[in-house]
Amino acid sequence: MHNPDSFRSGIRKDLEDFVRRQEAGLGGSEGEDALKIDLHCHDRNSDVPDETLGRILRVPETWLPTAKLLRTLKTNGADVLTITNHNNARSCWQAQDRGEDILAGAEFSCTLPDMDIGVHVLTFGFTPAQEPKLNRLRKNLYKFLEFTAEEDIPTVLAHPLNFYSPRGLPSLELMDRFAVLFERFEGVNGQRESWQNMLTIAWLEGMDEEAIEAAGKRAGIRPDAYCRRPYVKYITGGSDCHMGIFPGSTGTLLRVPGWRTRKESRATLALEALRNGEMGPYGTHCEEEKLNVAFLDYFCQVALHMEDPGLLRLLLHRGTTSEKLQALAIANGMFELRRHRYTSRFLGLFHECLQGRKPGWFVQMMTSQDYKPLLGQMEAIASARAHSSEKLVQVLSTALPAMFNQLTALLTDRVKAKVRRMEENGMPNGFADILGKIELPTHFRALMGQATQSRESKGKEPAGIDLGKWSDGLPFPALAAVVLGGSAFAASKVLYGKRPFVDALARRLGKYEHPKRALWITDTLEDRNGVSHVLQQMLAEARRRNLPIDFLACSTGKENGLESGNHLRLIPAVSEFTLPFYQDQVIRLPGMMDLQKIFLEGGYDRIICSTEAPMGALALYLKHAFNVPAYFYTHSDWLDFARRVLKYDKRKLDRLRRFLRAFYRRFDGVFLLNTEQRESFASQSMGLAADRLHLTAHWADAKFHPRAVRKGEVYPGGDGQVLLYAGRLSEEKGVMDIPEIFRAIKARIPGARLAFAGTGPCLDRLRAACPEALFLGWLDADKLAEAYSAADLLILPSWFDTFSCSLLEALGCGLPAVAFNTKGPRDILAGESGGLLAETAAGMAGIAADLLESPDRLQALKYRALQRAADYRPETIMDGMMRDLDLATGASVQPKPSAPRGSGKRKASSAEMPLEQNQAFIGELLALMGG
């Protein structure tokens, strides 16, 4: 069985073993013959960012003072000091002027002009006179490296798998160029995750003379054109630290025998070793928390220190329109953070904790009870930082998700309280009303002001709420959660932004290929509803066949004995709530950062989701954070729900359709359960590409087969023919049409009886409207199969069902059905495959009465029902889904579970039973039924 942690843990172990071997080969990190140096760290003189956004906003990459960086490097055991700021060595020159023994260095942003690729080149030992020329030449990497080779200036390609590619990801030809352009490569970068580090190392270890010659031929570059020793590749390490938290924890060992007794300065010895000697990385690899906390500290400092970049300057900047809009949004967000005093205090306090300084007694005394847990986590972070950077990483792995969850719970509790008050004040549909009316004014002043109270434009509904008043009490938990969540997102985005390129390199090397495995997330698995039932079936099939899919449910599992393991992972809910218009279903909200960690540690590379909110939003978050495909599995037609249950008019429906269109179009694929919905999604009004729409189906549990049961045992009180409805007793299921339908049937067949199997909000109304009916309540699978087997006809008055599992279960028990001519039932019953379709309630009543009066025809439909149910087999349905997810198992051919609209006959699947076997099997079942 799949070990969800094996991929990541295996890579970490290999990287740790590699570093240990390097350290041992160079005499150990504390040896007498090796100098320790962090070849990649930054301070406040990295003040012109590479990223366009940073330049537009005029924010430096760090505010870290030089003295503090040098002090931390010495504390962490560095024997030689250097600072590699972007495109300048000012900090090095200033330190040298103060008499510091420091190796001149910088990280130059260079461009491969023929590929339009930007790379970072760590450069050492140059002089102040050479720096301006290096800056002029860096726009052409070839000329830059020609100069460094001529002047014997050693260079290191920083983080080779992280480069700037404005025109999209390049081909692997880029790696061929790297192989012949550089001798030294940063194989262990403290801010890059272990997978990329280990792939870089594996690629370099395969670079023998033959491989380098082949790379040179492919690139059209002689291996000795830029390298003194073209067939020897050295691996270095560096912390790449900007915030002063981890400098020196990762670095490079330089072999310098007897360096402690040598007369030359350590910087001179280090430069000589870089030019001529052996070297290798030391220290810790990157835990994701390291980059996360770096971004978090950076966001804190940006919010506290950023100055207004100026609107005119922003508009006139040469950046793209998209970059300018992002910069405008970021600037306004940061100034809003600063404007809110509680949030700005929190950011300042958090920054202090990351420096190892605990909150003072006054802060502790003045903190409200709601925020005490946050303060406790921050104190733990400060203590860990004061202890060591390694301890800090350990504490952060639990403290940051805990803080995010506490803020999320606080925020949702306050929102729930506001919604309750809103309903009490005359908005009974609460959220549904807001969803139908919400709008953002184009006039900025009106956004949070009084313009929501009245609109001058005729024909427009007011939003119905004052956003400024309604949001009171929400900004701090919301803004603080955004900062924490934003840092986690930014860290993953940086680490996995080049994922397709990294995947391609792994395939070429045949090493460290990422497993192809999907995580299916849901907030309902143990509830009594159709979605939970379907997901439980899929989980069972994944377990039976060991398919490359795991299911993650937001649940404790205590109520029904669910346990994590064997294709199932459980995550507790941070908050739970119900929607006013759908109160039978609990919505569970998991911790976003907990989910992010599970996705990473589990070695998943694609995401599936089957509920729109909140899991749909989290699925899209994972998609963009990890640069993976995301798929949505539809269970409901929400436009139809809004039309029939919420009674939305055309204007509200159009607005909801636009929301849904924007949501579904962000997925790489959408699984649909009927041809009508597929056509709707592909239509101009929804605009989804047809090749991203995948038709799939459900199947009935094996328990749903004909049972030898007497009618009176299930339906006591008479021997008349029984019409059964099975499913949720709710408006959208059309159950309130049943009384009228049944009265029309009973007018023709006085002995007919009616039974309901299920529960729901319409139960009391149905009892009042159908006092003679039998209400069986919720039935387990065995009891429900008996109810199907003992009934004479199933009636399905729903226009809402995207598939209808109850219909398929009934067919599996040999029970014919009458349903409306829509969605799932239309596909399943095409060509009278076990039932008939009606256009109206009156038509349904007439068809049902006709069948009950025609025993021979009813018996023929029973035979077809069993045939049709046998078409829906889990193997063929899941095989088709695996292919659509690019997780093909090489099993059987995908079936055609649903007939095309309007077709009289369903096309047979090559995976279905041969006709003779089907007939023999069905004959036995009919005999069992007594038919």
Give the mean model confidence (pLDDT) for residues 454-472.
49
Give the model's pLDDT for residue 735. 95
Q: What is the DSSP string of 825-861?
A: HHHHTTTTSSEEEESSHHHHHHHHHHHHT-HHHHHHH
Question: 151-189 pLDDT, tens per residue?
Answer: 999 999 999 999 999 889 999 999 999 999 999 999 999
Residue 447 CB coordination number (10 Å) = 13
Question: 321-375 pLDDT, tens per residue?
Answer: 888 898 898 888 888 877 888 888 888 898 999 989 998 887 877 778 888 889 8
Q: In this model, does residue 459 exceed pLDDT 80?
A: no
User: By C-alpha distance, which of 622, 630, 301 is closest to 489?
Assistant: 622
Question: 1-48 pLDDT, tens per residue?
Answer: 456 568 888 999 999 999 999 988 887 666 678 999 999 999 999 988
Give the model's pLDDT for residue 457. 44
Question: 374-385 pLDDT, tens per residue?
Answer: 989 999 999 999
Give the model's pLDDT for residue 558. 61
Give the model's pLDDT for residue 438. 60
Contact 725, 792 (CB under 8 A): no
Give the mean model confidence (pLDDT) for residues 86-94.
97
Say which residues have a Cβ less than 8 Å from residue 534's Cβ, sequence separation at least 6. 635, 698, 805
Contact 239, 248 (CB under 8 A): yes
Q: Is the pLDDT higher at 154 or at 442?
A: 154
Give the model's pLDDT for residue 473. 64
The helix (H) or strand (E) run that includes residue 18 is helix 6-25
Residues 260/261/265/268 CA torsion (nearest 10 deg): -80
Q: In this model, does residue 462 exceed pLDDT 60?
A: no
Question: 279-307 pLDDT, tens per residue?
Answer: 999 987 666 778 888 888 988 888 888 88
Give the mean model confidence (pLDDT) for residues 389-393.
86
Q: Compute the mean pLDDT over every residue in the chain, rounded to the nearest whole number.
A: 87
Task: Report d(CA 869, CA 188) in Å as an integer.
Answer: 57
Residue 456: pLDDT band (50, 70, 90) is very low
Give the model's pLDDT for residue 831. 87
Q: In this model, does residue 260 exceed pLDDT 60?
A: yes
Say which residues have a Cβ less than 8 Å from residue 492's Cβ, sequence separation at least 6. 288, 596, 600, 625, 626
For 497-576, where are the alpha helices, taking DSSP H only? 499-509, 530-545
Q: What is the DSSP string of 689-737?
A: -GGGEEE------TT-S-----HHHHS-S--S-EEEEES--SGGGTGGG
Task: Report d(CA 258, CA 465) in Å as an integer.
Answer: 76
Q: From the CA atom positions of the chain, what is the Rg in Å?
A: 33
Give the model's pLDDT for residue 527. 76
Q: Would the pTM of this model clear 0.75, i.e. be above it? A: yes
Q: Is the pLDDT higher at 245 or at 426?
A: 245
Q: In this model, does residue 872 exceed pLDDT 80?
A: yes
Contact 452, 440 (CB under 8 A): no
Say which residues have a Cβ less than 8 Å from residue 202's Cβ, sequence separation at least 6. 509, 511, 512
Question: 780-831 pLDDT, tens per residue?
Answer: 999 999 999 999 999 999 988 899 999 999 999 999 999 999 999 999 999 8
Give the model's pLDDT for residue 561. 67
Place of tokens 């959660």: 481
Q: In this model, does residue 624 exceed pLDDT 60?
A: yes
Question: 543-573 pLDDT, tens per residue?
Answer: 999 999 999 998 765 656 678 889 999 999 8
Residue 899: pLDDT band (50, 70, 90) is very low
Give the model's pLDDT for residue 267. 96
Question: 184-234 pLDDT, tens per residue?
Answer: 999 999 998 899 999 999 999 999 999 999 999 999 999 999 999 999 999
Residue 928: pLDDT band (50, 70, 90) is very low
User: By C-alpha distance, which of 808, 833, 817 is closest to 899?
Assistant: 833
Give the model's pLDDT for residue 309. 87
Give the model's pLDDT for residue 920. 45
